[in-house]
Amino acid sequence: MALTITDDCINCAVCEPECPNLAIFEGEEIFEIDPERCTECVGHFDEPQCQMVCPVDCIPLDPERVESKDELQKKYELLTGQGA
């Protein structure tokens, strides 16, 4: 699954620089995550870095973007140019 940022976001901006895929960006009202770029940090880290630094715990899995670890790994490979 990709991650999503809920309305509980306080716009502290600590998550944005932690994303290795540049999936987090400042939206109109709160920060948002581009699901096409989010791999839950698969390929980079063992845990999603944005979730680890979020002070209000507002970055859950997006139930509308169900992806397996294999799918996330393939997305990582495509994003980093490692895909075959």
Annotated domain spans of the chain? 16-79
C-alpha–C-alpha distance, residues 52 and 82, integer Å: 26
Confidence of residue 58 (pLDDT cuts 50, 70, 90): very high
Confidence of residue 84 (pLDDT cuts 50, 70, 90): low
Q: Which two tokens stand for residue 84?
A: 């075959």
Q: What is the pLDDT of residues 31-42, one digit of tens each?
A: 999 999 999 999
CATH of 16-79, one of 3.20.20.120, 1.10.3720.10, 3.30.70.270, 3.30.70.20: 3.30.70.20
- State if pTM tops 0.85: yes
Separation of alpha carbons 60 and 18, rounded Å: 16
Are residues 45 and 20 in contact, defined by beta-carbon separation less than 8 angstroms?
A: yes
Do 1 and 65 form a contact (C-beta atoms < 8 A)?
yes
